[in-house]
Amino acid sequence: MHKIRVDLHERSYPIYVKNEILSSVGQILKQFDIQPNVVLISGKNVSALYRDVVEKALEEEGYKVRFILMPSGEANKNLQTVQFLYDRMLDLKMDRGSTVIALGGGVVGDTAGFLAATIYRGINLVQIPTTLLSQVDSSIGGKVGVNHSRGKNLIGAIYQPKIVIVDPTVLKTLEFRQRVSGFAEVIKYGFIRDRIFTQFLLENFADILTLRNLDHVNAAIIRAIEIKSSIVSADEWESSLRMILNFGHTVGHAIEHTAGYGTFTHGEAVIIGMCAALKISAQMAALDTKTAETFISSLLRIPISGSLQSCTPETLFDAMTRDKKVRNGKIQFVLLQKIGDAIIQDNVPKEMIMDVLTWIKDITFAKAL
Ligand SMILES: NC(=O)c1ccc[n+]([C@@H]2O[C@H](COP(=O)([O-])OP(=O)(O)OC[C@H]3O[C@@H](n4cnc5c(N)ncnc54)[C@H](O)[C@@H]3O)[C@@H](O)[C@H]2O)c1
Ligand SMILES: [Zn+2]
């Protein structure tokens, strides 16, 4: 079993990574003195697959498990679902000593996490993320919350879990496209912090995405978690360093918005956004042009299903200026000086951004491995 510690003083917590770890969830919770009353929260797909194994593991260790089926999907990540969860928690007589266990992807983790952060002013939270994205990103760092009709993630808190438990083998049931989406974030960590890791990922992406080589999958997840944890540990409240986690997201978010949610997965849009950021890095930061081109062509071997047909450079630029990461009217870019070394820049000229947005329109995406 691999253990990574998120170092946040009295709010520090461990992340455990191991194949088939779901059947040991009860033993892990017991080690942390988690009290017997626990509520397992999960969506329809994931509960059909993994509820039984988790419940059994908990019950074997004497836990009294209550289950709440949460309406899943991004459209249900809202205050109405939180209200429903509050009601169910009170119906089930859950008290301040109870623990919320979130079993699912980022939607379940963010929503159940917000419930745990706010009910009785905060009760124990255990995250069991089941998508690659949630395993390497959303379950770590304590951002919990829901969407508002006027925008994504507008309501939330920073509330750290007590334990995170990651089972890479659950990715077997995850759709390929969702694996690609999480993999984009894994590569992002490489680009901002670790050149050798980036090379490893781009050389072995097919083995990782198909799960042909579980050792590589584990290595990718563990290193990604280490990098995110170290960044969160150094900057829990997102004052500066944590912003480098937005590498590829300035253009990525604009693509997601403009192409219409669902056209691209988040990660697919981030892959294109990383290509754009590499191009700009070669002009505005010290990144060598040849290196940028080599990494762009490697990135573009990863299959991307969406199409940029409905986007123009102008609509993409507009979306960028509306993003919540715009500060004082300036668009913030995370750029690379070298692979593995990121900086924040807010003075990229508009013409350069427009050139890159024009360029991405002509990219031909790989459609299969
Ligand atoms: N808190 C943070 O720091 C943070 C960071 C990034 C993203 N997010 C949030 O995460 C959410 C996206 O999360 P996501 O990408 O995990 O999507 P998701 O939670 O919607 O899951 C995607 C789909 O996969 C299914 N699924 C999950 N695990 C499965 C498995 N093992 N096998 C089969 N099917 C499975 C789900 O039922 C769902 O249909 C967004 O709401 C985003 O805002 C939060
Ligand atoms: Zn992201």
At residue 236 the predicted structure's pLDDT band, cuts being 50, 70 and 90, is: confident
Query: From the centroid of its chain, how far is CA 272?
Result: 17
> How large is the average pLDDT for residues 143-172?
97
Q: What is the pLDDT of residue 202?
A: 98
CA-CA-CA-CA dihedral for 189, 195, 197, 198, to nearest 10: 70
Whole-number pLDDT of residue 333: 96
Across 158-185, average pLDDT: 98
- Rounded to whole angstroms, what are the CA distances from 298 to 154, 159, 187, 208, 340? 35, 37, 11, 15, 16
Q: What is this structure's pTM?
A: 0.97
Assess whether 266 carries a catalytic annotation.
yes
121 is catalytic: yes
By most ligand atoms within 8 Å of CB, the mutation choice from 19, 137, 138 for ligand 1 is 138
pLDDT tens profile 285-298: 999 999 999 999 99
Ligand nearest to the backbone CA of 265: 1
Residues listed for the chain = 369
Centroid of ligand 1 to alpha carbon of 138 (angstroms)? 8
Given a cut of 90, whether residue 229 has pLDDT beyond it is yes
- Does the domain at 176-361 match CATH 1.10.260.40? Answer given as no
Closest residue by CA, ligand 1 atom 13 = 106
Residue 107 has what pLDDT? 98
The stretch 181-187 carries a mean pLDDT of 98
What is the residue with the minimal CA distance to atom 44 of ligand 1? 138
Question: Which parts of 216-278 are beta strand (E)?
Answer: none
Cα distance between residue 208 and residue 214, in whole Å: 7
130 lines ligand 1 (CB under 6 A): yes
pLDDT surpassing 80 at residue 54: yes
Q: How confident is the model at residue 18 (pLDDT cuts 50, 70, 90)?
A: very high
Flag whether pLDDT at 325 surpasses 80: no
Which ligand has an atom closest to residue 268 CA?
Answer: 2
The one catalytic residue in 152, 238, 325, 338 is: 238
* Ligand that comes closest to the CA of residue 178: 1
Q: Using 50, 70 and 90 to split pLDDT, how confident is the model at 261?
A: confident
Nearest-atom number in ligand 1 for the CA of 185 is 6
pLDDT for the residue 306: 86
pLDDT reading at 272 higher than 80: yes
Q: Decide which of 237 and 206 is more confident.
A: 206
What is the pLDDT averaged over residues 189-198? Answer: 98
Residues of the chain with CATH 3.40.50.1970: 2-172
Q: How far apart are CA 136 and CA 129, in angstroms?
A: 9
- Tell which residue, 164, 81, 84, has the closest CA to residue 126: 164
- For residue 324, the model assigns a pLDDT of 73
Our answer on whether the CB atom of 110 is closer than 6 Å to any ligand 1 atom is: yes
pLDDT of residue 198: 98
**What is the pLDDT, as a whole number, of residue 328?**
78
Give the chain's mean pLDDT.
96
**CA-to-CA distance for 319 and 313, rounded, in angstroms?**
10
- How is residue 140 written in tokens? 């770590």
Judge whether residue 238 has pLDDT over 90. no
The Cβ of residue 366 has, within 10 Å, a number of other Cβ atoms equal to 11
CA nearest 139: which of 100, 169, 89, 175?
Answer: 100
Residue nearest to atom 11 of ligand 1 (CA): 106
- Number of other CB atoms surrounding residue 88 within 10 Å: 18
Query: Residue 1: how many CB atoms within 10 A of its CB?
Result: 10
Percent pLDDT > 90 in the chain is 91
Question: pLDDT digits over 130-140, tens only?
Answer: 999 999 999 99
Contact of 140 with 108, CB cutoff 8 Å:
no
94 Cβ below 6 A of ligand 1: no
pLDDT at position 327: 76
Residue 51 reports pLDDT greater than 90: yes
| Residue nearest (by alpha carbon) to ligand 1 atom 19 | 105
User: What CATH number does domain 2-172 carry, 3.50.50.60, 3.40.50.300, 3.40.50.1970, 3.40.50.10090?
Assistant: 3.40.50.1970
228 given a catalytic annotation:
yes
Q: How far is the CA of 185 from the centre of ligand 2 (A)?
A: 6
Which residue shows structure tokens 């690659």?
132
CA–CA distance from 21 to each of 128, 241, 266, 297, 321 (Å)? 10, 32, 27, 36, 43
> Which part of the chain has CATH 1.20.1090.10?
176-361
